[in-house]
A and B are shown apart, each in its own frame.
Chain A
Amino acid sequence: MSQLSLSVDIAGLRLRNPTMNAAGVLGISAPLLKRVYEGGAGAVVTKSLGPEPRSGHLNPTMVIVEGGVLNAMGLPNPGAEYFVSAIKALRAEGIPVIASFFGASIDDFRDVAELLSEAGADALEVNVSCPNVQEELGMLGADCLNTEKVTAAVKEVSKPPVFVKLSPNVTDIAEIAKAAELGGADAITAVNTLKGMAIDADFRRPILTNVTGGLSGPALKSVALRCVWDVAKAVEVPVIGCGGITNWRDAVEFMLAGASAVEVGTAIRERGFGVYEEITTGIEGYLEANGFGSVKGIVGLAQEAI
């Protein structure tokens, strides 16, 4: 029997395996997040929580497009304070919880971070990259200075590691990642959804109420993989890969590009909650077949190939 280990350490956060749900997917309810964990995830990520409750956008908020899913939920959430009890309930069951959050200003980010840190979240994931709320909240992650300032403000008040989730909708994601690192980020999550839209030919109008939305699923994968590649090259801190990962092979590719762990969301639609166990088992088989003793052994290997 080999001593193969699937556990990973991301900036001090130790997980039983390198998979988790992507923020926004199912994270509005503790029982659903528990089901994600039971489906095999190494940790769960909450819906992005804000300073106040938000209903999000009206339907249509999601539509299937070529190779993926386009959504503009609009950050519905009950408010960070309300969700504290859910975070505590999950942690009481031994489930590592990564609290995703957002704000409209640097002060908001700091206040919410402090609250979630005190709630006991195992890590914080700063969402500076939602493509669907620009008019109301802006996308602070679109420029280096704001990303650094937000990260630094969050770090000031946070006990657990801070992950900063970046957007692919920027000219140079490596520069933004460096800014987050400079601000003190303990890890970078790359990436959020890619901004897109759908127009209905019969009705001659955009389908989503928000007009534009974020593209996820297989159509996003090659873009996300390139983002992870660029970010991993640019920073020293660990990278968490996200975007279009559907199976273990995708996950391994993200790791070879430089990801220490992966977030999986849209694939739940077709693969169900068991997608996390499927991916973990597949990674295990890959490590074993290729003589690697741990996930860490393959992180960034493709970078060394060139």
Chain B
Amino acid sequence: MMRTAVITRVLRMAPDMVTLYFEDEECSKASPGQYAMIWIPGGEEIPMSLSTINPGGESSLTVRDVGEATKTLCDMKEGDKVGIRGPFGIGYTITGDSPLLVAGGTGVASLAPLAEAFVERGVKPTFILGAKTESDLAFRDRLENLLGDSVVLATDDGSCGFEGFSSQCAEKLMDERSFDAVYTCGPELMMVAVFDEAESRGIPVQASLERYIKCAHGLCGSCAIGPYRVCMDGPVFDSEKLREVREDFGSRKMDPTGKIVGVDH
């Protein structure tokens, strides 16, 4: 069933990125890593990670303006409404005493609630918050208030923190310290690099994958990766499943017609 969510406040994160807060009972009970289908009446419906999950309280979506639907969402104001279905999918399984969370770009949206869930369990994860440039670092205050100096900043242009990709920063941290679990969300090529690096050290990984989700109920198959449906068997894949789809992960996906095309970011 389609529900209606009213935007209660809008937080501008970066020039082209906002967080939209809303109240929705079902989303407030979601697990970190789950997503909702967001419908812009008159426009498209797209999958979005829940960037805030607050039992009994507000939820949020964090949107970067990358297309028509996301532009409409980025222009939304308090009081505007969207249609919502979900939450859907399998989120992160919380495991490990010294986890490393690796976020690239808007990947922070799904990993920030995970960091909060770890802290609730008395575990303080190391969090790589990476983006193109300093002004794109989303939820920096939220994470630094939560984790203090366990937040490691990384920017592609070196404007803040480590200079380079989140994956390169992760490799450096894995050299220096020992982690017993790695979680990653962001550009697929970044996640593959993180996965391969963790694999070579025998550290289990959970990665949140993205494909073209249409039905979100595991029926249409448009989000297939190998024998799995990202919408329902994912979006979070563990090492075992990632190994199974390694030929496609970071390399191939289906376009909206079902033709196989390359993964370019």
Which residues of A does B touch, CB under 8 Å?
24-29, 31-32, 34-35, 47, 53-56, 58-65, 69, 71, 73, 76-79, 82-83, 198, 200, 202-203, 205, 207, 209, 265-266, 268-269
How many angstroms between the C-alpha atoms of A55 and B215 in the bound complex?
A: 14
Contact assessment for A25 and B219 in the assembled complex, using a CB-CB cutoff below 8 Å: yes
Dominant secondary structure of chain A at its interface with chain B = loop
Among the listed stretches B8-16, B18-26, B173-181, B256-264, which one makes contact with chain A, having 4 or more residues with CB under 8 Å of it? Answer: B256-264
Dominant secondary structure of chain B at its interface with chain A = loop
Q: List A contacts of B37 (CB < 8 A).
A: 59-60
How many angstroms between the C-alpha atoms of A61 and B42 in the bound complex?
A: 13
How many angstroms between the C-alpha atoms of A27 and B258 in the bound complex?
A: 10
Cβ-based interface call for B119 (8 A): no
- Of the listed residues A27, A59, A65, the one surrounded by the most CB atoms of chain B closer than 10 A to its CB is A59
Contact assessment for B227 and A28 in the assembled complex, using a CB-CB cutoff below 8 Å: no
A47-B258, A79-B257 known; A62+B221 contact, CB < 8 A: no
Q: List B contacts of A200 (CB < 8 A).
A: 2, 4, 41, 83
Complex A-B: 23 CB contacts under 8 Å: A28-B220, A28-B224, A28-B258, A29-B258, A31-B227, A35-B227, A55-B256, A55-B257, A56-B256, A58-B44, A59-B214, A60-B44, A62-B214, A63-B1, A64-B85, A76-B214, A76-B258, A77-B258, A78-B258, A200-B83, A203-B81, A205-B41, A269-B219
* Binary interface encoding of chain B residues 192-228 relative to chain A, with 1 for a CB under 8 A from any of its CBs, else 0: 0000000000000000000000111111111010110
Minimum CB distance partner of B256 in chain A: A55
How many angstroms between the C-alpha atoms of A89 and B115 in the bound complex?
A: 43
Contact assessment for A25 and B44 in the assembled complex, using a CB-CB cutoff below 8 Å: no
Name the contact of B257 in the complex, choosing from A76, A198, A268 (C-beta under 8 A). A76
Q: List A contacts of B1 (CB < 8 A).
A: 63-65
Contact assessment for A268 and B81 in the assembled complex, using a CB-CB cutoff below 8 Å: no
Q: List B contacts of A73 (CB < 8 A).
A: 214-215, 220
Cβ-based interface call for B254 (8 A): yes
Besides A59-B44, A269-B218, 6 more A-B contacts (Cβ < 8 Å) are A31-B224, A32-B227, A55-B255, A71-B220, A73-B214, A77-B258
A29-B254, A29-B258, A55-B256 known; A207+B221 contact, CB < 8 A: no
Contact assessment for A32 and B229 in the assembled complex, using a CB-CB cutoff below 8 Å: yes
Q: List B contacts of A78 (CB < 8 A).
A: 257-259
How many angstroms between the C-alpha atoms of A266 and B204 in the bound complex?
A: 34
Chain B proximity of A33: nearest CB distance (Å): 9
How many angstroms between the C-alpha atoms of A144 and B45 in the bound complex?
A: 38
Chain B proximity of A37: nearest CB distance (Å): 11
Contact assessment for A205 and B46 in the assembled complex, using a CB-CB cutoff below 8 Å: no
A61-B214, A62-B214, A202-B81 known; A27+B4 contact, CB < 8 A: no
- Of the listed residues A60, A64, A76, A205, the one surrounded by the most CB atoms of chain B closer than 10 A to its CB is A60
- Of the listed residues A26, A34, A79, the one surrounded by the most CB atoms of chain B closer than 10 A to its CB is A26
Contact assessment for A54 and B257 in the assembled complex, using a CB-CB cutoff below 8 Å: yes
- Of the listed residues B215, B254, B258, the one surrounded by the most CB atoms of chain A closer than 10 A to its CB is B258
Q: List B contacts of A55 (CB < 8 A).
A: 255-257
Contact assessment for B224 and A60 in the assembled complex, using a CB-CB cutoff below 8 Å: no
Q: List A contacts of B254 (CB < 8 A).
A: 28-29
Q: List B contacts of A56 (CB < 8 A).
A: 214, 256-257
Cβ-based interface call for B183 (8 A): no
Contact assessment for A265 and B45 in the assembled complex, using a CB-CB cutoff below 8 Å: no
Q: List B contacts of A59 (CB < 8 A).
A: 37, 39, 44-46, 214
How many angstroms between the C-alpha atoms of A62 and B214 in the bound complex?
A: 8
Q: List A contacts of B217 (CB < 8 A).
A: 62, 64, 69, 269
Q: List A contacts of B39 (CB < 8 A).
A: 59-60, 207
Minimum CB distance partner of A79 in chain B: B257
Contact assessment for B221 and A25 in the assembled complex, using a CB-CB cutoff below 8 Å: yes
Q: List B contacts of A83 (CB < 8 A).
A: 258
A28-B222, A35-B227, A202-B81 known; A60+B257 contact, CB < 8 A: no
Name the contact of A28 in the complex, choosing from B4, B44, B46, B221 (C-beta under 8 A). B221
A53-B257, A69-B219, A77-B258 known; A63+B2 contact, CB < 8 A: yes
Contact assessment for B258 and A61 in the assembled complex, using a CB-CB cutoff below 8 Å: no
- Of the listed residues A53, A71, A202, A265, the one surrounded by the most CB atoms of chain B closer than 10 A to its CB is A202
Name the contact of B41 in the complex, choosing from A54, A61, A203, A268 (C-beta under 8 A). A203
Chain A proximity of B101: nearest CB distance (Å): 30
Name the contact of A34 in the complex, choosing from B42, B44, B46, B227 (C-beta under 8 A). B227
Contact assessment for A77 and B257 in the assembled complex, using a CB-CB cutoff below 8 Å: yes
Contact assessment for B221 and A32 in the assembled complex, using a CB-CB cutoff below 8 Å: yes
How many angstroms between the C-alpha atoms of A112 and B221 in the bound complex?
A: 22
